[in-house]
Chains A and B, each alone.
Chain A
Amino acid sequence: MADGMKEQPKRSLSGLDVKPVYTPDDLAGTDFARDLGQPGEFPFTRGPYPNMYLGRLWTRRQIAGFGTAQATNERYRFLLDHGQNGISTDFDHPTLTGYDSDHELAEGEVGRLGVAIDSVRDMDDLFLDIPLDKVSVSLTINHPAIVLLGMFLSVSEQRGVDWSKLRGTVQNDSLKEFHGQKTFALGPGPSLKLTTDIVEFCTKHVPNWYTISISGYHIRECGSDAVQELAFTIAQGMAYVESALERGLPVDSFAPRLSFFFGCHNDVFEEVAKYRAARRMWARIMKDRYKASKPESMRLRFHTQTLGSTLMRQDPQNNIARGTLQALAAVLGGTQSLHVSGYDEAFDIPSEEAMRMSLATQLILSHESGVTNTVDPLAGSYFVESLTNEIEEAAWGYISKIEEMGSGEYPIKSGMLSAIDTGYIEREIARSAYEYQLRIESGEQVVVGLNQYQSEGAQKLELFQFDPEEEEWQKGRLAETRGGRSPADVKSALSSLKQAAVDDKNLMPTVLEAVGALATEGEMLDTMRDVYGEYVDPGVF
């Protein structure tokens, strides 16, 4: 068998050919000054900053959220006490999809995979005793982003924290919801409008806030390969830029506040190449295509989450090794912040022990591995540079296809809307997911413990214990909120919100008014669904 394996041409995880040896000939067309430049300089291939981790280590940002706001607030404080330096919120499915905790479809999911937020009162509890002007907060919310950000801004205001001091992120990547994560509420057009409302509002009133975290992570979790993850993420980013330009915002006014979010799989060099290609592509797109002039508009910065879908139930402690490899790749690729998924993720949301391990993985990489001692250590590798070029070229193939689906002054924006409507992106990803599964089932792709090297006897993990009473508690809290407010104020605020939607105005001012009147998330989203229509899963496979 060993002899037979030598005959096989090697491929990266995403199917790119990998040669046994790379030489200077592989970089014959590469101009190092033009294509790489110095770290912190255009086209930022080597990193967004000149000194990278020598200046400041990446932010250790483990996402967390479960049960009630109080329970999650305790976890945040645990993480902050154990070496974390940023907060990332995970909302439950009802919150992500814009339903209140007492909605029929919410049964069994309230607070289950994230924290339940129904009104601004819950948002206030979530950040109890956490200084909002000091800790950066990432709100992982998309179609209802305007409502949750509105609640967060309202809490900040009540605490006397000036909006200019807030330096968090709202995910607000509405387009990827149709082919990644799938927590959509509204159709592609209206949800893109809301994304752009946030960009516009924050550019004027919350200047240090990151307005969109343009996300490939969920696309990858849905089974795309690295090239598709890169291509669709960049295309989403271009669609947001075009939508903001169409709104009349100058490119350099909003582009510096866009950030990115990628996943990280097991193929170390392919992942590093993906991140480096992403930076170079974005820099050139922003400069050449959208005529940005500030370097901050061109330099791509990103958060990484190691992929839960790579984690196995079999021998779960093996997942610590997978998380370490993936985290290493993210750091070698120059990530600005990192979440290492819990080794028990194939069973449930992570236990405290698993999160402690994930943070330790990050700390060991930071302080023991030596990989942070120099900037972009893999630059100049014949293999990595060559793979970076190939991934970039392959990604452009998809982006050009999307552009061909569009028209007019903003062809990527219209092309993305059309690619979503026709199910093109969804089918491409589903095809990759299926092919990957077939490779695992045939044994062509080895997954240790799953299809080879299975061990006898299963380890029993101490898993996260969910408290089922929290759903009832949350429903009680919601009823209490509804009972303690002025119905006339709520009605009037929701009717203003509706009018703003009908008039195609920026919805943030009326959302803030409704938040202040203690309108619930579900009520605000229902108002929007009334005007824009509800998006229903087309069930493409």
Chain B
Amino acid sequence: MASPPTNIKVLLAKLGLDGHDRGIKVIARAMRDAGMEVVYMGMRVTPDQVAQTALQEDVDVVGISILSGAHMRLIPRLTKALQEREILDDVLVMVGGTIPEDDVEPLQKMGVQGVFPVGSFTTLMTEFITANVSRGRSAPQV
């Protein structure tokens, strides 16, 4: 087993116009408290903006929260945008929100590794990240 990764960097964002940001802010705090570096882009960003930021910031995880029901429209655009930048295989893509059971498998087929419906514990998410982020990041040079 690989040694636990350090300095995990997480990019969080909300796609579209959806204003339900309570969950993602709770998650942002939980991940920060778990020792991860969190970049929160806020609301109303496009899939392309997320993918571009993921590339520039060299993140390990992309976490998207959608409670507008638009996930089946927006997530394919996100995974495509990540694919175009050739980073879909390097980042762990997680999606949370009001995601019906029936949409989980199609989302996984698009390249989403973790789906976390509303009510999911933050500990479940941080454990999922530490178990699935494979590469250890080198400590920042001082």
Residue of B nearest to A437 (CB): B26
Measured between beta carbons, the chain A residues less than 8 angstroms from B46 are 104-105
B118 within 8 A of A: yes
Question: Chain B binding site: helix, strand, loop or mixed by DSSP?
Answer: loop
CB pair B21–A182 under 8 Å, yes or no, is yes
Contact call B119/A113, Cβ cutoff below 8 A: no
| Size class of the contact patch on chain B | 35 or more
Q: Which A residues lie within 8 Å of B26 (CB)?
A: 223, 430, 433-434, 437
Is A538 touching B44 in the complex (CB atoms < 8 A)?
no
List of A residues within 8 angstroms of B43 by Cβ: 182, 537, 539
Q: Does A112 lie within 8 Å of B19, measured CB to CB?
A: no
A349 to B100, CA, bound (A): 12
Looking at B44, B68, B73, which has the most chain A CB atoms within 10 Å of its CB? B44
Query: B35 contacts which chain A residues (CB < 8 A)?
Result: none
A433 touching B70, Cβ below 8 Å: no
Partner of A348, one of B21, B98, B119: B98
Contact yes or no, A539 B42, CB < 8 A: yes
Tell yes or no: A109 within 8 A of B by CB.
Answer: yes
Segment 102-144 of A: residues with Cβ below 8 Å from B: 104-109, 112-113
Q: Is A312 an interface residue (CB 8 A)?
A: yes
A93→B19 contact, CB < 8 A: yes
CB distance from B123 to the nearest CB of A (A): 6
| Inter-subunit contact A450/B119 (CB<8 Å) | yes
Give Cα distance in the complex from A96 to B28, angstroms. Answer: 26
Q: Are A93 and B117 in contact (CB under 8 A)?
A: no
Does the CB pair A181–B119 fall under 8 Å? no
B137 at the interface (CB under 8 A from A): no
A346 at the interface (CB under 8 A from B): yes
A346 touches B118 (CB 8 A): yes
- Across the interface, which residues of A come within 8 angstroms of B34, CB to CB? none
CB <8 Å contact, A106 and B118: no
Task: Assess whether B25 is in contact with A113, with CB atoms less than 8 Å apart.
Answer: no
Closest B residue to A534 by beta carbon equals B44
A483 to chain B, nearest CB (A): 25
Find out whether the CB atom of B121 lies under 8 angstroms from the CB atom of A441: yes
| CB of A229 closer than 8 Å to a CB of B | no
CB-contact partner of B69 in A309, A348, A536, under 8 A:
A348
CB distance from B16 to the nearest CB of A (A): 5
Chain B: minimal CB distance from A134 (Å): 33
CA distance A539 to B16 in the complex (A): 15
How far is A440 from B121 in the complex, measured between Cα atoms in Å? Answer: 9
Is B40 positioned at the interface, with any CB of A under 8 Å from its CB?
Answer: yes
Contact status A108-B70, CB under 8 Å: yes
* Residues of chain B within 8 A of A536, CB atoms compared: 42, 44
Which residues of the other chain, B, contact A106 by a CB distance below 8 angstroms?
A: 16-17
Asked if A466 lies at the interface with its beta carbon under 8 angstroms from chain B, I say yes
How near does chain B come to A148, taking the closest CB pair, in angstroms?
Answer: 16
1/0 per residue, CB under 8 A from A, across B109-123: the answer is 000000001110111
Check if A221 sits within 8 Å of B119, measured CB to CB: no
User: Distance (Å) between the CB of A92 and the closest chain B CB?
Assistant: 9
What is the distance, in angstroms, from B122's C-beta to the closest C-beta of chain A?
7
CB neighbours of A430 from chain B (8 A): 25-26, 29
B16 touches A108 (CB 8 A): yes
Known: A112-B69, A347-B98. A437 touches B122 (CB 8 A): yes
Check if B117 sits within 8 Å of A313, measured CB to CB: yes
Distance between Cα atoms of A355 and B69 in the complex (Å):
19
Asked whether B16 lies within 8 Å of A107 as measured between CB atoms, the reply is yes
B48: shortest Cβ distance to chain A, in Å? 10
- A175 CB, nearest partner CB in chain B, Å: 15
Interface contact B100-A109, CB-CB below 8 Å? no
A314 within 8 A of B: yes
| A222 in the interface (beta carbon within 8 A) | yes
- Cβ-closest chain A residue relative to B123: A441
Q: Which residues of chain B (1-38) have a CB below 8 Å from chain A? A: 16-22, 24-26, 28-30, 38
Residues from chain B with Cβ under 8 Å of A99 in the complex: 17
Partner of B17, one of A97, A347, A466: A97
Residue of A182, A223, A450, A538 with most partner-chain B CB within 10 A = A182
Question: How far does the Cβ of B137 sit from chain A's closest Cβ, in whole Å?
Answer: 22
Please state if A108 and B44 are interface contacts (CB–CB under 8 Å).
Answer: no
CB closest residue in chain B, given A181: B19
With the chains together, A221 CA to B25 CA distance in Å?
13
Given A104-B46, A112-B68, A463-B100, A539 contacting B22 (CB threshold 8 A): no
- Is A313 within 8 A of B118, CB to CB? yes
Contact string, A64-102, partner B, CB cutoff 8 A, digits 1/0? 000000000000000000000000000001101101000
**How far, in whole Å, are A242 and B24 apart by their CA atoms in the complex?**
34
| Contact across chains for B17 and A93 when beta carbons are under 8 A apart | yes
Residues of A within 8 A of B119 (CB): 312-314, 346, 450
A458–B117 alpha-carbon span in the complex (Å) = 14
Tell me if B74 is interfacial: C-beta within 8 Å of chain A: yes
Question: When the two chains form their complex, are residues B18 and A347 in contact, meaning their CB atoms are under 8 A apart?
Answer: no
A195 at the interface (CB under 8 A from B): no
**Contact assessment for B19 and A108 in the assembled complex, using a CB-CB cutoff below 8 Å:** no
User: Residues of A contacting B123 with CB < 8 Å?
Assistant: 441
A341 is an interface residue with CB less than 8 A from chain B: no
B87 to chain A, nearest CB (A): 22
* Contact (Cβ within 8 A) B29 A346: no
Contact residues in A for B131 (Cβ distance below 8 Å): none
**Closest residue of chain A to B75, judged by CB?**
A108
Could you mark each residue 309-330 of chain A with 1 if its beta carbon is under 8 Å from any beta carbon of chain B, else 0? Answer: 1001110000000000000000
| B43 → A minimal CB distance (Å) | 5
Instruction: Specify the chain B residue showing the minimal Cβ separation from A466.
Output: B69
Known interface pairs A347-B100, A348-B100, A537-B43; A105-B17 also in contact (CB < 8 Å): yes
Chain B interface (Cβ < 8 Å from any Cβ of A): 16-22, 24-26, 28-30, 38, 40-44, 46, 68-70, 72-74, 98, 100-101, 117-119, 121-123
- 26 A-B pairs, CB-CB below 8 angstroms? A93-B16, A93-B17, A94-B17, A97-B19, A99-B17, A105-B44, A106-B16, A108-B16, A108-B69, A108-B73, A112-B68, A112-B69, A113-B68, A348-B69, A348-B98, A433-B22, A433-B26, A434-B25, A434-B29, A437-B30, A437-B122, A441-B123, A537-B43, A539-B40, A539-B43, A541-B29
- 4 nearest A-B residue pairs (beta carbon): A108-B70, A108-B73, A182-B19, A539-B42
